Amino acid sequence: MAIEHLKRSKTEAEKAEEDSKVRGVVEATLADIKARGDEAVRDLSQKFDGYAPGAFRLSDGEIEAAMSQVSARDMEDIKYAQRQIRRFAEAQRASMTDIEVETEPGVILGHKNIPVQSVGCYVPGGKFPMVASAHMSVLTASVAGVPRIIASAPPVEGKPHPAIVAAMQLGGAHEIYCLGGIQAVGAMALGTQSIEPVHMLVGPGNAFVAEAKRQLYGRVGIDLFAGPTETMVIADESVDAELCATDLLGQAEHGYNSPACLITNSARLAEETLAEIDRILQILPTRETAAASWRDYGDVVLCETYDEMLKRANEMAYEHVQVMTDRDDWFLEHMQSYGALFLGPRTNVANGDKVIGTNHTLPTKKAGRYTGGLWVGKFLKTHSYQRIETDAAAAQMGAYGSRLCMLEGFVGHAEQCNIRVRRYGGRNVPYGEAAE
């Protein structure tokens, strides 16, 4: 049996047309921010969020006032999630060590892991206030030792969202802004009269935020292209349709363009999942967005073998991949392209999104083929160094270097080596020739 699509999402051409429209809007908006700075940022915030305060940066008093509105239960839940995320981030940081080795007598090579010096963390908050995104970016940057962490999220109902502010503050943000969308990431990256630019942008966002990060890449570093969320369920008859449908729609509710895909080798499970999705959409409070995503971006792929399921999953390289089969560890061993794996029916993507401890800022749009998600290592730059400690090593390395430079025709390079051979090796190398 060939691979069969029981349901297809929009075509690649249709998706590309949408991306093109977004690209034009973002390009014009970033140009406006670059030209007019704070004035443009204020105009954009007023236009899209109806919010134009005296200052977008929150004062200590405003931070305290926002945090005072968070209930004791919510505050404890935030702190619990941050403990989980901190533990895992600290373990990851401990795995990254500086090294120094002597590769030849007197030749010392090493590397140091140095934190990025300033980071802008974007926390989405339009349709849903993404409190957890503050943990994932701000706290992880803090564990990495970033000395300047600024965080920004849009206003919710005309004011800073209390729980987001609490998460940013507890996570270790040094500056907190109430500013959303392209204007937030643009201001953090380009700088304005009141906001000093950062060296790196991180955090998820809608299609416009993701495109802004793409266009700003190069001027600043970015974590990855984290656009509209994607979820994939790989399942066989070891699980039921209700579980599959719930996990697909749980992520489809993010927005109107959140891809969701079921890959299975069971025609019965595929058909029952389609029916179960229809049933759940009748009762799901967020059905308006979930239904739009499923209608336009939902796929059901029926395969004959587990090998076919694996091949198609790696080709699609989705952000979240929930594996519920009789061979979950086999998929763990053989999956190569994805954002994060969620293995077995007992866990789920929402755990990863909010509390379990792994980072939820993950690659989308097939970026999982060449990068993993946000983690403490993204905030560290690995820089190498070298040192030669003896005259003999300087002369030996210089002679090899001289000949290899001349092999490529770089006479000036060769002379950098030759002068060391002459001074430290006591050998007369004619100018512009290779050392013997």
C-alpha 16/C-alpha 217 separation (Å) is 20
7: enclosing H helix or E strand: strand 4-7
Helix intervals (H) in 68-151: 72-94, 131-134, 140-144
State the Cα torsion 296-298-301-306 to the nearest 10°: 150
Answer yes or no: is 418 a known binding residue. Answer: no
**Which has the closest alpha carbon to 167: 149, 193, 194?**
149
| Conformational region of residue 191, where left means phi above 0, alpha means psi within -120 to 50, and beta covers everything else | left
Answer yes or no: is 305 a known binding residue. Answer: no
C-alpha 321/C-alpha 164 separation (Å) is 27
Q: Are 378 and 412 in contact (CB under 8 A)?
A: no
Answer yes or no: is 251 a known binding residue. Answer: yes
Pairing of strands 119-122, 200-202: parallel
Answer yes or no: is 242 a known binding residue. Answer: no
Answer yes or no: is 360 a known binding residue. Answer: no
Catalytic member of 253, 320, 360, 415: 320
What are 187's two structure tokens? 């201001």
DSSP of 378-400, one letter per residue? Answer: GGEEEEEEEEE-SHHHHHHHHHH
Q: Are 144 and 118 in contact (CB under 8 A)?
A: no
What are 154's two structure tokens? 């849009």
What are 139's two structure tokens? 């706290």
For residue 79, the SS3 value is helix
For residue 416, the SS3 value is helix
What are 301's two structure tokens? 């792929």
Catalytic member of 230, 253, 319, 415: 319
Active site residue 111: no
Active site residue 174: no
**Which has the closest alpha carbon to 258: 284, 232, 222, 224?**
232
What are 402's two structure tokens? 């001289």
C-alpha 137/C-alpha 153 separation (Å) is 12
Answer yes or no: is 46 a known binding residue. Answer: no
Answer yes or no: is 408 a known binding residue. Answer: yes
Answer yes or no: is 122 a known binding residue. Answer: yes
Answer yes or no: is 297 a known binding residue. Answer: no
Answer yes or no: is 353 a known binding residue. Answer: yes
Q: Which residues are catalytic?
A: 319-320
Q: Binding site for Zn(2+): residue ranges?
A: 251, 254, 353, 413
Q: Binding site for NAD(+): residue ranges?
A: 122, 183, 206
Q: Binding site for substrate: residue ranges?
A: 229, 251, 254, 320, 353, 408, 413
Q: Binding site: residue ranges?
A: 122, 183, 206, 229, 251, 254, 320, 353, 408, 413
